Amino acid sequence: MSIILTGDRPTGKLHLGHYVGSLKSRVELQEKHEQYVMIADLQAMTDNNADIISTNILEVMKDYISIGLNPDKTTFLLQSAIPELTELTFYYMNLVTLGRLERNPTVKTEIQQKNYENSLPMGFLCYPVSQAADITIFQADFVPVGNDQIPMIEQTNEIVRKFSATYGEGIVKEAKAVLSNTQRLVGIDGKAKASKSLGNAIILSDSEEEIRRKVFEMYTDPNHIHVSDPGKVEGNVVFEYLDAFYEDKNHLEDLKAHYAKGGLGDVKLKKLLNQTLQDFIAPIRERRNALNDADMKNILLSGTKKAREVAVRTMKNVRSAMKINFFEQH
Ligand code: ATP
Ligand code: MG
């Protein structure tokens, strides 16, 4: 049985990008593996304010349960309640250089998006190191993620190799990314990635009206003015969402050909996408409305306790390999 670890920042409610990039795989993986799902509140602190983070912890828990993660099969944990994660991050910082962190392409893009060029918090630059601690403390084999996370897994594995070469093999191990069919869902504005902080995502708990509004706001092809004009399928957000959510792939191919040739209007296409997404989200929203905060808190608390035991065990081995267990030795 493999070990799976993944997580989300509680910077807002989860969206369709999370679903296709990672949540869907988690629902499948929980059936056959030992899965940990972490709410990364400390990682969220690197660029967000504490109020937003604490209000979203239970919201994210509700998202998890409403999309089909099962607390009997998946262990949920809250990052800040496991201090061993912070401790391991601190040790790992000696195994990575500033230059290497600055070259991380995902972090580079995010630094630009957040206008951090002249005021970069060290914690933000180091968040891939903290992710390395998250992954390795649970001895994860696989990490189901969107492709923005590939550089984080590479970074993790470099740290693991350095750790093993310095302090001995077998204490922490390398992990592999599990990528889905839709590795990165675009934003409704056409930006490369739908994300909570960019506000360009359809949320898994959006109302019927919000979904409709967002679908009709979607970026299509600015040169497709008249229905009869040939339209561009490539880079067309509506088609990207249909690719991810519309199940009749043959029909979708016909629609693409029709759109490219001319004669298929954006409104017709958006109506189809709207219906597709309404059908997908309605049952999730319904399950979510039946959930309450107290139950979510209990699930998270008991999962965190269980996960902490694993973290404590790994850290005992880490400290002893690093010879920082002085009082136990003397
Ligand atoms: P934030 O804007 O606060 O960083 P986010 O929307 O990027 O939020 P995260 O919590 O950083 O979400 O990411 C959690 C997981 O969801 C990661 O595995 C990430 O790759 C995946 N994910 C997030 N957005 C997308 C997307 N648009 N397409 C595919 N996967 C995504
Ligand atoms: Mg993110």
Residue whose entry in the numeric block shows the structure tokens 């914690």: 123
With CA atoms as reference, report the closest residue to 228 among 269, 261, 256, 267. 261
- pTM value is 0.95
**Ligand 2 centroid to 195 CA: how many Å?**
7
Beta strands in the chain (DSSP E): 3-8, 34-39, 74-78, 142-144, 176-178
Q: Which ligand is nearest to the CA of 147?
A: 1
DSSP 8-state class, residue 23: I
Q: How far is the CA of 60 from the centre of ligand 1 (A)?
A: 13
Cα separation of 106 and 131, whole Å? 13
Within 6 Å (CB) of ligand 1, which residues are found?
8-9, 11, 17-18, 20-22, 145-146, 148-149, 184-185, 193-197
Nearest CA to ligand 1 atom 6: 195
Distance 113 CA to ligand 2 centre (A): 11
Pocket test for ligand 1, best of 8, 13, 156, 186 (most atoms within 8 A of CB): 8
Name residue 224's amino acid. Answer: H
pLDDT in tens, the chain (330 residues): 899 999 999 999 999 999 999 999 999 999 999 999 999 999 999 988 888 899 999 999 999 999 999 999 999 999 999 999 999 999 999 999 999 999 999 999 999 999 998 999 999 999 999 999 999 999 999 999 999 999 999 999 999 999 999 999 999 999 999 999 899 999 999 988 999 888 899 999 999 999 999 999 998 988 898 999 999 999 999 999 999 999 999 999 999 999 999 999 999 999 999 999 999 999 999 999 999 999 999 999 999 999 999 999 999 999 999 999 899 888
**Distance separating alpha carbons of residues 323 and 190, to the nearest angstrom:** 51
